[in-house]
Structure 1
Amino acid sequence: MSRPTTLSARAAQRLASGPLDPVTLMRDVCKVDRLQADAAERMALALLSSHPEFVRLPSGHWALAAGLAPPSGASASGGPGGARAAGSESSSLFDVNFAVVDVETTGTSPASGDRITEIAIAHVRGGELVDVYAQLVNPQRPIPPYITQLTQISWEMVRDQPVFSDIASTVVDRLAGQVFTAHNAAFDWRFVADAVDRGIGHELSGPKLCTVRLARLLLPALPRKSLDHVTRYFGIDIAARHRAEGDAVATAQALVRMLRIAEEQGVCSWPVLERRLAAPTTNRRSTASDRRRRAFPLPASEDFIA
């Protein structure tokens, strides 16, 4: 494929794999290493707002307009699997690419010096779990005994593994064009964003989805929304609890179930889901009919890795 020669064509090529925030998009398109958010927003508006091929989503991210061809010289591919990271109002949730992430760490705060010991990224495309990347990481510091007891990850296991900077580019590539998804997404995002920035100086950005918040929205009758409770509700077995791959795969399987429930409830696109998640929730007691209606979740056997 020939390299696009105009800025709009570069933007279309970059957005072909999914929506991006203005900072990431303008840095890539204009080849600028450092760019403030307000300046990036002005640049994006000046460059893209006059082209019907581009739309600005409610989240502030830019995307290719559904059903319109990108400018000449740009790829029309939707990235791996052919689906976009987050679509328009008319596109299905099952057209969205999700990267379901789980990390194991030496503690709870990267700002306090805690580091990643294991990372897994499970891709969900077309409503299916399609592949999983998992990697132990040398945190370059001791692993506390209580963490080893919880995760079964010892210093001996990670001593000869790559440090995060060695895999940071791979992680960024696997997250590109995807909705970053995790159970308690703020925790995983904080660690991954910190590790990527320290490792290769890249600022992680893009749409995010927390499956805890999704469970609160879609499973109001479920009294607790921990991963153990959500997976038990759906009859999903976690192959290895508190290990990155086991937890990421189980979260991905639960995500698939909840996407089906969302569409049953009329939440049929990513922008609609974002608005529903951002709306204030009411603490209402579930009725007996609510509980009966959700008593028979979709079976876990329907998921598979292609």
Structure 2
Amino acid sequence: MTTTESRGRRGARGSQRGYAVLDVETTGLDPYRDRVIQVAIRQVSADGTAESEWETLVNPGAGVDPGPVEVHGLTSADLAGAPTYKEVAAMIAERLAGRVFVAHNAPFDWAFVAVESDRAGVRLEVLEWLCTMRFAKALALDVPDKSLATIAAYYAVEQVKAHDAGDDTRVATEILLRELADADRTGVTRPLVECNSARHRVKRTARRWFSRLGLPLR
């Protein structure tokens, strides 16, 4: 099986403004030219209650190089039987809908999921993202850098398998909960960023066309 799911308790306050913590593994660093090959999402209610977790491998298409196997460990053989992004796009959209999108280095993960969803013709009902890396900066954590491993160590969160979307999402979720608690204690405002306005969607469409035509991205 390439897709896994489990569910936990639902928070009393519901999930309308809860969080969807996401991580992707990709064939490269450019969301307009590279592809998603693994995605994991954990839903957390507004009060921090775990709601569900889900992950899947993603087949990037015949003949597409899986990219840095030495980093993510996923080969073409691993991905051959996985669903395409288009086949799971609606599921991803459902799990993100109405929530704050959360990731460590959120601009990267959001760009890949947004562009892949655009390609699949599925609209994401997301308004804002919250980056746990930027949150760490806002909290002025006393750390040498803001990498996932460093922030995890700061909060005593164990990393089991780095660069695996499922484990990275688990770690990012634990970091998020600790950052939210620190923010409540110190009065720091959550660094929410608008990410999916009409202007953002038009810009993504234009960049996809530039990329398709082989023109420099603007």
For this structure pair, what is the TM-score category when the shorter chain's length is used for normalisation?
0.7 to 0.9
CA distance in 2 between counterparts of 1:218 and 1:129 reads 23
Question: In the superposition, relative to structure 1, how do residues 204 and 106 fare at CA in structure 2: closer, same or farther (>3 Å)?
Answer: farther
| Residue of structure 2 equivalent to 1:121 | 41
| Residue of structure 2 equivalent to 1:273 | 190
- What's the offset of the Cα at 1:131? 2.0
The runs of at least 4 aligned residues of structure 1 exceeding 4 Å deviation read none
CA distance in 1 between counterparts of 2:184 and 2:137 reads 16
CA distance in 2 between counterparts of 1:233 and 1:200 reads 40
> Residue deviations 1:114-154, cap 9 Å, x none?
0000000011222233321100000111213xx11111111
Counterpart amino acid of 1:260? A
- How many residue pairs were aligned? 181
Which structure: greater helix fraction?
Answer: 1
Q: Does the 8 A contact of 1:104 with 1:151 survive in 2?
A: yes
CA distance in 1 between counterparts of 2:191 and 2:30 reads 27
- What's the offset of the Cα at 1:273? 2.5
Q: 2:65 aligns with which of 115, 136, 142?
A: 142
| Residue of structure 2 equivalent to 1:15 | none
Counterpart amino acid of 1:118? Q
| Residue of structure 2 equivalent to 1:217 | 138
Structure 1 segments unaligned to the other structure (5+ residues): 1-79, 87-96, 279-306
Question: In the superposition, relative to structure 1, how do residues 124 and 219 fare at CA in structure 2: closer, same or farther (>3 Å)?
Answer: farther
CA distance in 2 between counterparts of 1:216 and 1:190 reads 21
SS of corresponding position for 1:192: helix
- What's the offset of the Cα at 1:185? 0.3
Structure with larger Rg: 1
Work out whether 1:151 is the aligned partner of 2:72: yes
| Residue of structure 2 equivalent to 1:67 | none
CA distance in 2 between counterparts of 1:110 and 1:264 reads 37
Q: Please give the residue correspondences for 1:1-306 in structure 2 after superposition, counting only pairs within 5 Å.
A: 81=11, 82-86=13-17, 97-111=18-32, 113-125=33-45, 126-140=47-61, 141-144=64-67, 147-202=68-123, 205-267=126-188, 272-274=189-191
Question: Which segment is superposed worse, 231-240 or 127-136?
Answer: 127-136
Which structure: greater strand fraction?
Answer: 2
CA distance in 1 between counterparts of 2:125 and 2:28 reads 21
Q: Does the 8 A contact of 2:100 with 2:129 survive in 1?
A: yes
Q: TM-score, normalised by structure 2?
A: 0.77
CA distance in 1 between counterparts of 2:150 and 2:170 reads 15
> Residue deviations 1:67-126, cap 9 Å, x none?
xxxxxxxxxxxxx7443544xxxxxxxxxx110110000000022x20000000011222
How large is the RMSD of aligned CA atoms in angstroms?
A: 1.9
Identity of aligned residues (%): 33
